[in-house]
Structure formats: structure tokens, C-alpha cells
């Protein structure tokens, strides 16, 4: 507090020199670590960086005969084509809205589920809940699609229940707005248990001594959950959030493809279904690559932004970089 600006500057210079010097020292002292990182590094170079030239296909007119490198450059033509379609903006905003809904509701629920599950004291019951909760992860949408169409049909059991309760029947499948609800709900249903595993793992690694101390202080279960468990797993929540923010732009093709119908295209038609209908079967490789690249750039921006925000909020530096 009492030091002057000049002093600070000098201090800074000295430390800067010291740092340069010590970097090499550090590298040498960490040489074992670098060696341990080497296999992974080589893996990334071979399996991720060598094939990366494939990205260029988005700027080329892909020719089967000449392959990726031999195809002709066409610049941004496929991007222009992408934006020229009337439906593209709608498809894009649908993807975005759905992605945001999925993250708003789909992200906190596994966390809450993990927290609540952790409070179950009966170990067998706890294990049983956990096991059943991740089962939906193993069923494909081809199978689930038919089941959901029957459950949510206006003639289905859900509407029968509504009728029994004296409410009006609701068509989830043909109403564009409600269909969004359906997509988000079934997504949560399918992924909740599976996505909660990482949070359960984080909870499992909380030092149990902390709880013992809290119990002595007379804290109730809810208090302990909010004041010990939640803050302890916050770093993992933050990193999971940052990583999943990029998914806003990535839709679940299989889910939507197996559930949607023309009546709800106005809200359910997303980038992947659009591209599919646009004709991946027509083998338009360059176009598909352009859409992919576009999606990835948006995802990168999203992740970058959320990472920056996370770093600003949290001094510990638990962001990605």
C-alpha cells in the first residue's frame, strides 16, 4: 500500500529478468513432465493436426476424382450458398434457441440431481437410483423416438392423465412451441443421469472432514449441501459449463430426426436436419464442410467468451486456459 509507482516498476523489471532466467531452469526441472506429455503431444499432431487440411474443403469445390488437395478453390461460395437459402436464418435461430434452452435447463439439472442424490443416506437405494438414471443414455433415439411419439401423442397416456385430472388435452407433437418443450424435456430425461456422473465424482472427492466440522456446528443437510458441497464442486461446474457452451450451436440430429414432423419445422428444423434434407445424400461434401466450419467457429467464440468471463470472475484460473 505504501509503495510508490516507481518502486513497483523497479520491482517488476527485476522480477522480469529473474523470470527469463528461471524459465529455463524450470524447463529443465520439469523435463520429466515434458517427457510424460510427449506421447499425448505426438497423438495430437498425428491424429488431429495432420488431417486438419480437410478444413479447406469448405473453400473448394470437392471433386471425387481429385480428392481434397486437388479440388478447385471456390473461396466463400459455399458460405454464400449457405446464407442465400431462405430457410437458413430460421434454421440457425432455431438451433440457437434450442441450444440455449437445453443449456439453461439441461445444465443445472444434472448438478441438482447429483446434489440431491448425494443426500440419500441409504447406500443401496442411492446406487439403485444412480444406475437407473443413466440407463436412458444407452438407448438410441431410433428406439426412443417411437416410444415418445406414443407417450406424447394426443391419444397417449400423458394426455389421458391430463383428461383424468380434468385438464384439456394438449398436442405436443404438432404445436411448434410445445414441441420445443418436448425436445428439451426428452433431452434432459436422456442425459440427466449420465451427465451427473462427473458431478458425483467431484462430490465424492470432497474431504469428509469438512462435513464433520459442519455437523458439529449444527448445520442441517440443506445448509451443508449449499455451503459445503456446492462450493466444493464449483470449479468442476464452471469447467463443464464452459465446455458445454459450445454445444449451443450443435444440435442433436438423431433426437430431432426421430421426433419431428412438418408441422413443427418452424421451430424444430435445425442446422443438421436442414443440411440432411438439403441433401447429404446428394453428396455435397463442400457444403457440409462449410456448415460445419461455420458452426465450429461460432462454438469457438462462445467457448472463448465464456472462458474469459470465467477467468475474470474467478481468480484461481480454473478456466480452460
Partner 1 sequence: MIKQGRLKNDIVFEVINGLIMMLVVVVTVYPFLNIIALSFSKTTTIGLSLLPKEFTLINYTRVIENNLIWVGLQNTIIRVIVGTSLTLIVMIMFAYTLSKKDLPGRVFLTLFIVFTMFFDGGLIPRYILIKNLHLMNTMWALVLPRLIDTFALIVMRNYMMSLPDSLEESAKIDGASYFRILFSIIAPISMPIIATVILWTAVWHWNAWFDVLLYIKDYDKMVLQYVLRRIVIEGASDTMNVMMESVNEIVPAESIKAAAIIFSTIPILIVYPFLQKYFVKGIMVGSLKG
Partner 2 sequence: MILMVCCRKAGSDAIEIKNIRKEGSHMKTFKLFAVLLLTIVMLVTGCNGKESNTGTNNESQSDKGASSGAQSEKNNEAQLPEADDFSEKIDLTFAKVAFPPKENAPVIKKLEELYNINFGYINFERTKEGDLVALKIASGEVPDVFEVVGNMVEFNQYYKQGILRSIPEEYLKKYAPTVYETQKKYLKYLKFEGEIYGICGERLNNVYPLNAIWRKDWLDRLGIAKVPETLEEAEKAFYAFAKNDPDDNGKQDTYGLGKSGLDMIFGAYGSIPWGPWEQYWLWQKDDNGQLIYSAVKPEMKDALAVLSKWYKDGVIDPEFIVGENKGGYWAVSTDFVNNKIGFTGLAHFYHWMPPLREGESGGPVYKELKIANPDAELAYGKPVVGPNGHSGTWQYQVGVGAAEVIVLSNKVSDKQLIRYLQILENQVTNEDNRMLVEYGIKDVHWEFNKNGLRVRKADYENRERYHPEGIQLLNSIYTLENSRKEHPERYAWGDQHYDFPGYRSELVAALPSESKLRPDLDLLRDEYYISIITGQKPLDDFDKFVKKWYELGGDTLTKEANDWYSNLEQ
Binding site for partner 2 (CB under 8 A): 1, 3, 8, 11-12, 15-16, 18-19, 22, 45, 49-50, 52-53, 56, 62-70, 81, 85-87, 142-143, 145-147, 149-150, 153-155, 171, 173-174, 253-254, 257, 261-263, 265-266, 269, 274, 276-285, 321
With CB under 5 to 8 Å by kind, the binding choice for 305 among partner 1, partner 2, none is none
With CB under 5 to 8 Å by kind, the binding choice for 36 among partner 2, partner 1, none is partner 1
Does residue 63 contact residue 72 with C-beta atoms inside 8 Å?
yes
With CB under 5 to 8 Å by kind, the binding choice for 207 among partner 2, partner 1, none is partner 1
SS3 173: coil
Spatial separation of the C-alpha atoms in residues 186 and 14, rounded to whole Å: 59
For partner 2, which is the closer residue by CB, 138 or 321?
321
Spatial separation of the C-alpha atoms in residues 248 and 264, rounded to whole Å: 20
Half-sphere CA count of 237, side-chain side, radius 13 A: 17
Which listed range, 86-94, 151-159, 172-180, 259-267, lies at the site for partner 1 (CB under 8 A)? 151-159
For partner 1, which is the closer residue by CB, 36 or 167?
36
Does residue 253 contact residue 272 with C-beta atoms inside 8 Å?
yes
Please name the residue that has the C-alpha cell 458445454. Answer: 244
Q: How far is CA 112 from CA 31, 107, 196, in A?
A: 42, 9, 9
Which listed range, 86-94, 99-107, 119-127, 259-267, lies at the site for partner 1 (CB under 8 A)? 119-127
CB of 282 to partner 2, least distance (A): 4
What single string gives the DSSP state of each residue in 275-315?
A: HHHHHTTTT-HHHHHHHHHHHHHHHHHHHHHHHHHHHHH-T
CB of 4 to partner 1, least distance (A): 29
With CB under 5 to 8 Å by kind, the binding choice for 104 among partner 2, partner 1, none is none
Q: Site map for partner 1, 244-283, x if CB under 8 A?
A: --x----------------------------------x--
Q: Site map for partner 1, 159-178, x if CB under 8 A?
A: --------------------
Please name the residue that has the C-alpha cell 469457438. Answer: 300
For partner 1, which is the closer residue by CB, 3 or 121?
121
Half-sphere CA count of 221, side-chain side, radius 13 A: 7
For partner 1, which is the closer residue by CB, 31 or 169?
31
Q: Which of 82, 98, 117, 264 binds partner 1 (CB under 8 A)?
A: 117
Half-sphere CA count of 79, side-chain side, radius 13 A: 13
Per rule CB under 8 A, is residue 50 in the interface with partner 1?
Answer: yes
Which listed range, 91-99, 171-179, 232-240, 265-273, lies at the site for partner 1 (CB under 8 A)? 232-240
Sequence-distant (≥ 6) Cβ neighbours of residue 271 within 8 angstroms: 91, 92, 95, 249, 251, 291, 295
For partner 2, which is the closer residue by CB, 57 or 237?
57
Q: How far is CA 131 from the centre of its chain?
A: 22
With CB under 5 to 8 Å by kind, the binding choice for 269 among partner 2, partner 1, none is partner 2
For partner 2, which is the closer residue by CB, 110 or 145?
145
For partner 1, which is the closer residue by CB, 47 or 164?
47
Q: How far is CA 67 from CA 56, 140, 279, 291, in A?
A: 12, 34, 20, 19
Spatial separation of the C-alpha atoms in residues 191 and 199, rounded to whole Å: 13
Spatial separation of the C-alpha atoms in residues 290 and 76, rounded to whole Å: 9
Amino acid at each position: 500500500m505504501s509503495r510508490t509507482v516507481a518502486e513497483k516498476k523497479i520491482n517488476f523489471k527485476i522480477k522480469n529478468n529473474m523470470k527469463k532466467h528461471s524459465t529455463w531452469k524450470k524447463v529443465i526441472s520439469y523435463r520429466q513432465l515434458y517427457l510424460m506429455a510427449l506421447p499425448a503431444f505426438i497423438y495430437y499432431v498425428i491424429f488431429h493436426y495432420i488431417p486438419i487440411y480437410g478444413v479447406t474443403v469448405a473453400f473448394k469445390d470437392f471433386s471425387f476424382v481429385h480428392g481434397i488437395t486437388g479440388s478447385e478453390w471456390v473461396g466463400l461460395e459455399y458460405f454464400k450458398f449457405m446464407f442465400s437459402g431462405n430457410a437458413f436464418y430460421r434454421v440457425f435461430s432455431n438451433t440457437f434457441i434450442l441450444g440455449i434452452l437445453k443449456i439453461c435447463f439441461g445444465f443445472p439439472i444434472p448438478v441438482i440431481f447429483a446434489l440431491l442424490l448425494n443426500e440419500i443416506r441409504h447406500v443401496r437405494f442411492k446406487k439403485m437410483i444412480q444406475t437407473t438414471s443413466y440407463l436412458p443414455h444407452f438407448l438410441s433415439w431410433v428406439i426412443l423416438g417411437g416410444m415418445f411419439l406414443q407417450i406424447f401423442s394426443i391419444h397417449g397416456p400423458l394426455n389421458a392423465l391430463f383428461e383424468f385430472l380434468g385438464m384439456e388435452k394438449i398436442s405436443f407433437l404438432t404445436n411448434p412451441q410445445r414441441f420445443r418443450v418436448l425436445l428439451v424435456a426428452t433431452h434432459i430425461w436422456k442425459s440427466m443421469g449420465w451427465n451427473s456422473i462427473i458431478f458425483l465424482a467431484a462430490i465424492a472427492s470432497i474431504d469428509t472432514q469438512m462435513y464433520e466440522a459442519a455437523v458439529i456446528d449444527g448445520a442441517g443437510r440443506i445448509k451443508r449441501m449449499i455451503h459445503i458441497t456446492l462450493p466444493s464442486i464449483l470449479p468442476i461446474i464452471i469447467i463443464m459449463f464452459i465446455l458445454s457452451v459450445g454445444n449451443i450451436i450443435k444440435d442433436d440430429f438423431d433426437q430431432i430426426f426421430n421426433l419431428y414432423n412438418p408441422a413443427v419445422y418452424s421451430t424444430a428444423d435445425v442446422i443438421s436436419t436442414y443440411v440432411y434434407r438439403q441433401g447429404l445424400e446428394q453428396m455435397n461434401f463442400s457444403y457440409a464442410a462449410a456448415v460445419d466450419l461455420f458452426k465450429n467457429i461460432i462454438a469457438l467464440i462462445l467457448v472463448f467468451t465464456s472462458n474469459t468471463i470465467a477467468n475474470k470472475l474467478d481468480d484461481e484460473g480454473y478456466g480452460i486456459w
